[in-house]
Amino acid sequence: MEAADLVRVRWTRSQWIRNVAPVFLVPVLLGADTGDPGVLPGPSGPVHDLHIAYADLAVEGAVIAGRLRFFKDDLERALGPFVESDALSLSPGPEADALVLRYVRERLALFVDGSRLEPALVASGEDELDREPVWWMLVKYRAGSPVADFTVRNTLLFELFDDQRNVMKFVHFPDETPRTFYFAPGEDEHRVRFGARVPTRLLQCRAITPTEIGMRLGAPSKVV
């Protein structure tokens, strides 16, 4: 299996709670009524009680690529300051892509040998998670040489919620070794390592095309 056969995990809300909640003790399960109407009933739909973002990425050769997923109303609120507003309403298109990519650049950083990798947006769109709107984006990072050791700093949505938790899963190919990390305020940086670094000359590195990433991640078949 190659990195382009990226993990297709799309956890439902209940699966998120079952797999992640024990780690940080989510106080409200599946929208249990607490008497609190929520933070911001934005245009996307009803507010939710679980503040979490999920990333599922593959690492192969010099490429790190995969999908980031946010509850749409949380992301819309985070993007508000970029347009001098409390929140905005996201619709698929180049303007939304530019705003979301700008936000991700500011809040999610990957470093290899001290150098920060630049994200490239492959595709994006809307989805639903247990009937709640979700915004997803397919991103790709490319290093100068095969990656087996890198650092991730993730502060996505930390500026909005004290209880925000971000989960990132990395799978190294071709050996399919998984690594999962949890990010929270005060614990926003982790080092990701996949064994000893292999000399570049011993690896046959192949570029992963945007279309290939999209097809094998389950993204829309038409990828620009």
Q: Is residue 1 part of a domain?
A: no
Q: How many domains does the chain have?
A: 1
Q: Is residue 95 part of a domain?
A: yes
Q: Which residue has the higher pLDDT, 86 or 121?
A: 121
pLDDT digits (tens, 9 = 90+) for 17-67: 344 433 332 322 222 333 332 223 334 344 567 899 999 999 999 999 999
Q: Is residue 222 part of a domain?
A: no
Q: How far apart are CA 109 and CA 92, in angstroms?
A: 24
Q: Is residue 38 part of a domain?
A: yes
pLDDT digits (tens, 9 = 90+) for 143-177: 999 999 999 999 999 999 999 999 999 999 999 99
State the residue range of the domain holding 79: 13-217
**Is pLDDT of 80 > 50?**
yes
pLDDT of residue 89: 86
Burial (0-12, 13-18, 19+ Cβ within 10 Å), 161: middle
Q: Is residue 224 part of a domain?
A: no
pLDDT of residue 82: 86
Strand boundaries in the chain, DSSP class E? 52-60, 63-71, 108-112, 115-116, 120-129, 132-142, 149-154, 165-172, 177-183, 189-193
Q: Is residue 223 part of a domain?
A: no
**Average confidence (pLDDT) over 111-133:** 92
